[in-house]
Amino acid sequence: MAAGGTYFFVSLKSVASEAITVEIADGVVRGALEGQTAVYRGIPYALPPVGKFRWRAPRAPESWGGVLEALDFGPVCPQPVRSSRPIDLPQDEDCLTLNVWAPANHNIPLPVMVWIHGGAFRLGSGSLPFYDGSALAKSGVVVVTFNYRLGKLGFFSHPALSQEHDLNYPEELEGNYGLLDQIAALRWVHKNISKFGGDPNNVTIFGESAGAVSVNYLMTSNLVEGLFNKAISQSGGGFQHARSLRKRDAHGRPSLEEEGSTWAGSIELPEGSGVDELKALPVETIVPQASIKNLGLGPVIDGRLILGDIGQRFERGEALNVPYIVGANNYEASLMKATGMSGDRIYEFFGSDKDRAIELYKSEGIENKEPLLNALYGDATFVAPSKYLADKSSSKNQLTWHYYFSYVPVKLRGKMPGAAHGSEIPFVFGSLSQLKAARLWLQRDDKEMSTVLLSYWSNFAKSGNPNGAGLPTWAPYNAIDRSTILIADEGIRVEKKLFERRLDFHIDRFDNALSPPLLVE
């Protein structure tokens, strides 16, 4: 932004029939014009976190001098490979890149939506097909997706690393490298997005699952002020109990540093090994291609970036007061199979409240064991926490909207119990056609529902309010009405005090420190 608040843009110059360039602080970037959308893929937002920069806070990228070809996505960060979701791109530790979708023709600064991908903090990337930002960009926003470090490369500590602080780099923090990457990407956006037509003073962060957990942690951090103005948390929980960087927590779980030391011993790294030995380890040793059933990795309380648990920070009014959308889906229990969670294990979490919980759900008409377990798991892990965060944010005079997504595509109804974890994502992005065999099942009703969700999300990015012309009215949440918008097969409606008895059961357990997380990040 120039002095006096006047925006100026480097024009998107055509250098070939489908190629366009833009000049940012680090050099010229060449992207592609795809219809009326300018797309730039694989732009580095930080130095490669390799060699001496492994397990260090991200550094700003160096200028590249010439023209950066931004036509292809960058490599994904190292992670286990799943047969159900193969990765078409190479894996590489040099993975800190981002992607931009921007309307090609505009003359005013546009709202920016920055997507934080999910994947339990050990899977995923910003380049998955259903994160394609083209449809959102057509609605008049600039979309950014990015990669961040995962698994032990993203969340790790060891006594040797704690002695490596660079006193000349005050932002050197330990442990939460994946979250630090997210902040680095937001800083890149703040610095450069005006050159793509985006407004750096109108940025919405949104994410799902681990990406939504990240949104909530960023909202409760003191290190992000000025980097975003609105937030959307899709199935991000809120009852998580984060572990500590250096000491055991109240649940007896080892600290991240203790766990790192134990792991170093398990791979027969000699006792007393230092930084050089750790940084020389092959990536395959650090990120083995193993099962993802143990989801213990994720952000930890370090006293600077993360100061406490999400729910507690919201309860104390220690979250950023920005417009906020939060919600969850009705079949979040789709994660049970992926994480190896058995029904008996779920019952164990409720201890002496098990029979009370079962009777409560049966009184609401959920009597068969499998649907009851599905509802218990989904409510305790995602739905009740989302309502808790809506309660706490709205009580602090924060503009808040709460949703409950249960829509199943027309041709898939009766074949699945409900809207699975993450199933709202392609509706929000308008990317349903990117899903497997979409041409065989995608119906007009599905496309129309996607148009509605995309409109809600993009309207929110533009104004801080999801409502707009032609859309069913979405009432904001407050402590009296506790209004939730239901996005269901039969349509969209607002309901007050959704599932109040059963959700308040879980909220009361959390308030009384009786609710350990069913799903550890």
**Which residues are tagged catalytic?**
209, 332, 421
237/405 Cα distance (integer angstroms): 15
Concatenated DSSP letters for 365-413?
A: T--SHHHHHHHHHHIIIIIHHHHHHHHHHHHTT--EEEEEE----GGGT
In DSSP notation, 436-502 reads: TTHHHH--HHHHHHHHHHHHHHHHHHHHS----TTS---PPP-TTT-EEEEEETTEEEEEESTTHHH
Nearest residue to 329 (alpha-carbon basis) of 252, 470, 425, 211: 425
Burial class (CB in 10 A: 0-12, 13-18, 19+), 390: buried
Cβ(257)–Cβ(55) under 8 Å?
A: no
CA-CA distance, 122 to 333, in Å (whole number)? 19
Ranges assigned E (strand) in 209-300: 230-234
What is the C-alpha to C-alpha distance for residues 66 and 87, in angstroms, rounded to an integer? 30
CB atoms within 10 A of CB 264: 19
Element containing residue 188 per DSSP (H, E): helix 177-192
